[in-house]
């Protein structure tokens, strides 16, 4: 995602019809496709997804389960695993989508990628009983 597209998405009105938000989400996934992934591109697309999901939240109409699952899988594909900030961005997107929808992707991560401290600020802590 280039900077202009990121800026366009971030400057959309806070309140949009649910159909318009879903259209923007699908457009973002389609345009991003399999573009080369670097840290800056990952930051922009995950930030744009979060912005669009905030607008979706304000519609009071949840996205269908299938759509949330597609977006969760897409967010994982666009995640640059190199930094804590990138991981925080991913968690923010997943928090808006619902962690159930991301369970398949979460379970596929290796233990070196998932650390207990990643979950400290999350609404749940899957490692709570293991400490």
Q: Which residue has the tokens 């649910």?
A: 18
H-assigned helices in the chain: 3-10, 18-32, 39-57, 65-77, 84-97, 103-108
Q: Tokens 């744009």 label which residue?
A: 48
- The count of domains in the chain is 1
* Digit-coded pLDDT (tens) for 46-71: 999 999 999 999 998 888 888 988 99
82 three-state secondary structure: coil
More confident residue, 44 or 115: 44
- Residue 98 has a pLDDT of 78
- Structural domain for 27, as ranges: 3-130
Residue of 114, 107, 105 lying closest to 87 (CA atoms): 114
Separation CA 1–CA 4 (nearest Å): 8
Q: pTM of the predicted model, to two decimals?
A: 0.78
User: Beta-carbon neighbour count of residue 63 at 10 Å?
Assistant: 22
pLDDT surpasses 50 at 126: no
pLDDT score at 13 = 95
Question: Minimal CA–CA distance to 68: which of 114, 104, 16?
Answer: 104
What tens digit of pLDDT does each residue of 79-125 get? 887 777 888 888 889 888 877 766 666 666 665 555 544 555 554 54
Quote the pLDDT of residue 77. 87
Query: Stretch 24-34: mean pLDDT, rounded?
Result: 85
CB 76 within 8 A of CB 69: no
């Amino acid at each position: 995602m280039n900077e202009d597209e990121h800026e366009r998405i971030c400057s959309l009105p806070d309140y949009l019809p649910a159909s318009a938000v879903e259209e923007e989400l699908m457009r973002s996934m389609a345009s991003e496709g399999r573009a080369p992934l670097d840290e800056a591109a990952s930051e922009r697309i995950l930030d744009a997804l979060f912005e669009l999901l905030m607008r979706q939240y304000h519609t009071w109409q949840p996205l269908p389960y299938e759509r949330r699952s597609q977006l969760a899988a897409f967010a994982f594909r666009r995640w640059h695993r190199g930094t804590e900030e990138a991981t925080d961005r991913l968690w923010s997107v997943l928090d808006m989508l619902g962690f159930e929808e991301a369970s398949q992707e979460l379970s596929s991560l290796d233990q070196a990628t998932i650390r207990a401290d990643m979950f400290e600020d999350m609404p749940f802590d899957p490692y709570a009983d293991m400490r």
